[in-house]
Structures are given as structure tokens and as C-alpha cells.
Amino acid sequence: MSEHFFWWTNEQKAIYKDVREFVEENYEEAEEYFWNTKFPWPLVKKVAEKGYFGVGVPKEFGGLELGATGSCIVAAQLGRLYAVGHVFTVSMLAGLEQILRFGTDEQKQAWLPKIASGEELGALCITEPFAGSDAANVFTSAIKEGDDWVLNGKKRFITGAGVSDRYFIYAKTSDDKALRKQYGHITAFMVEKGRPGFSLEKINPLIGFDNVPNGYIDFDHVRIPDSNRIGAVGNGWNVMMAGLNFERLIGAAVFSGQFEDVINLLFHFTKRRVQFNRTTNQFPGVQDGIAEIITKAKVSRLYSYHCAKLLDDGKEPMVEASIAKMINTEYARDIGLKAIQILGGDGLTKFLPAERLLREAKIGEIVAGTNEVQKMIIYRFSAMLPFYNTSMRLRWNDDVNAPIISKKESKFKGFSITDENVLKVIAHDYKVNPGLYMTPDDVREDIGGSRSDLRKIFEELETQGLIVTHRDRAGKIVLVKATYTGLQNAFPKVYYQWFPDWYNNADKF
């Protein structure tokens, strides 16, 4: 396998080698914490000493400045150290991208060196008991009192709860309905452990995250200074969104090192397990399964680094980050399941890391926005992209007597804009696309005219029962089609008929 991608810088290649060696040296120790269900503080300190927490932090604030690509490289390797990978990612996600983009110079000076040093861990706090996928529906409130803010509310499912010192939270700063509609009711804050009224409520027993604390936190009249506000009042949604692309990418990348370990394990194991007098790697089904795992591991790794490059190039890869998150976690689930199947009963034991991957994958499919939410983002943002919205109009081609996707002008172009001609355009579209409506712009493209003139004609034709309109919630006409009466009025029946050459004339009626 080519371990580096050609666009990585020499520094990124160097950290890959460095962190890989670190992981190899510390793998056994991480396993001991896993087996003892202990938070791996000494290992976290070692990660901090190596400077890995600063991989995405600019050099001027004590970091390594290796961007999203460097962060992915480190996350993917530290993910092999189980709890360490989770803590590393969440600590960076709890402020790095948000402060870099929205923090003041003072805030950058105050927080970024702390993130880089890893002396204090961070937690990202979006989710609440009543606000999960609908992350804008926060109930935790922040009310301004003098120069301070007073926080009340709860956050839940917070990774690193308790062990973290910094909590990056989003709170409601307005109940104004108009602001709420524009997502202008949320503000971002940093809250430090130790503030009076700030407490840990619960630690969740989970399907995975065996030695990673995840829980509820409570704010009871917690007072913080205005200098802990990140970004403008009411700009929290944008701060959250800015952080989320990075979060989804890094959270997903954490699986890719584990995929490598599982592939190594499968080759090792199946060359040594004998059934029916053959090593199991000789069974075609086992080979297929391993090939499928390798394919998924490679595809997800490539896609993650593609997305990281976009981030490093200053793009907003909303769709790509969602895809990276979705495929990494779905592939992690598939790889976990397939690996267990190949390993047989041994795969179901905790002695081998396959069952662990499956459990973590299920968490991955839910955290940082469920995969259903990712699909919603992928669909909605792609639907707006010009790239996917080039015209695909079918037009009737008289030479071949069939509809063909064409960029040619409509035969109605230049006709006068009358009720009769507009009806002809719409009826002709039935001949070409019998099951589809036309948009008003399709009609306009075919015959010309102004939008308002066409709207009036549509309304008139509708009143006469010659066309049907489909309207949006505001009552605006968004689609039109001819009624059967409209079709009869526009052209004789023969206009719509079409038979293949082989069809017997005697059978026509």
C-alpha cells in the first residue's frame, strides 16, 4: 500500500512516520488501559509531550501547523490506541477550528496554546436532552448580567466529560422567534471546569467507549466573563457549522488506522487457522471478505484525505465532510461485521479487536450527526450545486423520430406568447416526457416571454381547465402540465402517437 498521498507535504509525511512509531511503541499499554477500564492519563500525557494535540494549531500558538491533513494523519494512528484516539480528536474539536475562525486575538493567545500543549483536555458540548439531531433547539440559556453571562441548562452525551478542563458550549441567547428562524439565537462560549455551579451529572454506560468517559453536564447559574464568548452574540450557529466539517472529518478518520490493524489481523489469523485440512485463507469466501475489507479501507482513507485537502485549501467541504463521516462509519460497521465472520467464534471475543471495531462503528454512525442527517446534508447541499443542475432536457428529434437529450433550441422559439402557443409548448412536452411536469423556466426556455406574462397565461389556462399547476407553500406556480382536454385542444391525437417500425398497422386503432 502506498502509505503517503502525493499531495502530502514533507512535514505531513514525517509526522505520519513519527506517530506510527509512537503508536507501535504504546499499543500494548493502551490495551492494558482498555482491559482495566481505566482512563489512559499517562498515555494522554505522552501524546501531549509529543506535541500531537497541536497538529492543527498554527506555529505561532505553539502548534505544528499541519492542517486538517496532519490532524487526520494523527487521528487515524491514535485511533489504534482506542481511548486515546477519541480523547485526542474531541479535545481538538472543542475549540480549535472555532477559535481560529471566530476568536479574537486575545482568545487565540489564551486558548490555542492550551489546545496545542494538551495539558488540558477539551470537550465539545452541542447535544442536550431535548436537542439531538435538531441541534439548533438548545434549551441551555446564557443571559447577560453586567459584563458576565449566566448559564443554565444541561448538555449530554459529552465525550471527555469530567476528564476535560475546557468545555466548548452552545447556548441560547435569545427567544426571539424571528431570530430563531435565521438561527440567530445561539452563541458559543468556552466554560472552564471549576466554575461555581458547573457540575458533572452522569457518566453513560455505553455499547463502546469502554474507557472513555461520556456523560451529562449541568449548568446551574454558572457565571462566565464575556471574554469567554467565541464569536458574536447570535453567531453560534455559524461557529458550530464551521467546526462541524472538521469534526466530521477527524471523527471519521479515527477509524482508518483501526482498519489497517484488522486487515493485518485477518491475514495473520487466516494463514494459521486450519479447517477441512486447509488454512481458512484458502476459502474463496474468506478471500472475498478480506478483499472487500481492503477495498473499503482504501476508499474511505482516500476520501478522508481528499476532504482534508479541501479544508486545507480553504474550501467549505460540507458535502465531502458528510460523505467522509458517513462512509468511514458505515464501512467500519461493515468491516467489523465481516472481520468477525472471517474470524469465526474468536472474532466475537474481546481478545481480538474486531468486535471492538463493530461497537465503535455503531457509535460512529450516530455521533457528530447521525448518518441520516449526513444524507440530508449531502442531498440538500448537492441539490443546490450548479454541477448537478445542468439542463437535461429531452427534445423531439424529427430525424430519428424519438426524444433525445439535446441542447438545441425548441421548435417553438420565436412563437408569439399567446395562450394557444403556451398550451402547445406544454402539450408538446407530454409527447416528449409523458409523465413529467414542466417548470415555468422550462416553458420560458422553449418559447421565451417574461415570467410575469407566462404566469398570467398559466393562470388563464388553468381556469379554462387546459393545464394543471403545482404550487409551493407561498402559492407560487412551480410546475405545470397539460390536462387531457388541454392535450386534445393543442394537437390532433396523431401528434402524440408513436409506434415502432415492427408494429403491425392492422393492430393499430
The catalytic site residues sit at: 247
Least separation in angstroms between CB 376 and ligand FAD: 5
Of residues 248 and 309, the one with the C-beta less far from ligand FAD: 248
Of residues 71 and 127, the one with the C-beta less far from ligand FAD: 127
Considering only residues 157-216, where is the footprint of ligand FAD by CB under 6 A?
Answer: 157-159, 206, 209, 214
Return the range that interacts with ligand FAD (CB under 6 A); candidates 29-37, 42-50, 309-317, 367-375. 367-375
Q: Which helix (H) or strand (E) covers residue 330, if one does?
A: helix 318-343
Least separation in angstroms between CB 213 and ligand FAD: 10
Q: What angle do CA 367, 371, 376 make, to 5 degrees?
A: 125
Contact 254, 227 (CB under 8 A): no
Of residues 180 and 359, the one with the C-beta less far from ligand FAD: 359
Q: Where are the beta strands (DSSP E) in 20-73?
A: none
Which of 83, 78, 114 is CA-nearest to residue 96? 114
Among 141, 370, 433, 464, binds ligand FAD (CB under 6 A): 370
Residue 123 backbone dihedrals phi, psi, to 5 degrees: -130, 140
Count interface residues toward ligand FAD (CB under 6 A).
22
Least separation in angstroms between CB 140 and ligand FAD: 11
Return the range that interacts with ligand FAD (CB under 6 A); candidates 265-273, 370-378, 458-466, 492-500. 370-378
376 lines the binding site for ligand FAD (CB under 6 A)? yes
Of residues 124 and 286, the one with the C-beta less far from ligand FAD: 124
Least separation in angstroms between CB 159 and ligand FAD: 4
Contact 63, 55 (CB under 8 A): yes
Least separation in angstroms between CB 355 and ligand FAD: 17
Least separation in angstroms between CB 392 and ligand FAD: 28
Q: Name beta bridge partners: 214.
A: 159
Q: Which helix (H) or strand (E) covers residue 134, if one does?
A: none
Q: What is the DSSP string of 284-301?
A: HHHHHHHHHHHHHHHHHH
36 lines the binding site for ligand FAD (CB under 6 A)? no
249 lines the binding site for ligand FAD (CB under 6 A)? no
Q: 178-186 — which CB contacts under 8 Å span 24+ positions?
A: 179/234, 180/136, 183/136, 183/237, 183/238, 184/234, 184/235, 184/237, 185/136, 185/234, 186/136, 186/138, 186/234, 186/236, 186/237, 186/240
Of residues 368 and 467, the one with the C-beta less far from ligand FAD: 368
Which of 113, 121, 10, 122 is CA-nearest to residue 59? 113
Q: How far apart are CA 209 and CA 356, in angstroms?
A: 9
Least separation in angstroms between CB 156 and ligand FAD: 7
CA 424 to chain centre: 45
Of residues 156 and 185, the one with the C-beta less far from ligand FAD: 156
Residue with smallest beta-carbon separation from ligand FAD = 132
Q: Which three-class secondary structure state does DSSP give residue 311?
A: helix
Those residues with Cβ within 8 angstroms of residue 115's Cβ, 6 or more apart along the chain or in another chain = 53, 54, 57, 63, 91, 92, 94, 95, 96, 99, 122, 166
Terminal CA-to-CA distance of the chain, rounded, Å? 66
Return the range that interacts with ligand FAD (CB under 6 A); candidates 22-30, 152-160, 397-405, 415-423. 152-160
Which of 10, 99, 67 is CA-nearest to residue 305? 67
Interface mask toward ligand FAD for 405-444; x: CB under 6 A? ----------------------------------------
Interface mask toward ligand FAD for 46-85; x: CB under 6 A? ----------------------------------------
Least separation in angstroms between CB 378 and ligand FAD: 12
Among 9, 36, 104, 133, binds ligand FAD (CB under 6 A): 133
Q: Which residue has the cell 406574462?
A: 453
Among 369, 426, 428, 467, binds ligand FAD (CB under 6 A): 369
Q: Which residue has the cell 478522508?
A: 304
Q: Name beta bridge partners: 168.
A: 124, 190
Q: How far apart are CA 4 and CA 20, in angstroms?
A: 12
Q: At what angle do helices 256-270 and 318-343 cross, to 10 degrees?
A: 20
Of residues 135 and 308, the one with the C-beta less far from ligand FAD: 135
Return the range that interacts with ligand FAD (CB under 6 A); candidates 103-111, 120-128, 449-457, 479-487. 120-128
Return the range that interacts with ligand FAD (CB under 6 A); candidates 195-203, 224-232, 292-300, 360-368. 360-368
Return the range that interacts with ligand FAD (CB under 6 A); candidates 46-54, 141-149, 366-374, 403-411. 366-374
Q: How far apart are CA 314 and CA 308, in angstroms?
A: 10
Residues of the shown chain interacting with ligand FAD in the complex, contacts defined by CB under 6 A = 90, 124-127, 132-133, 157-159, 206, 209, 214, 363, 366-370, 372-373, 376
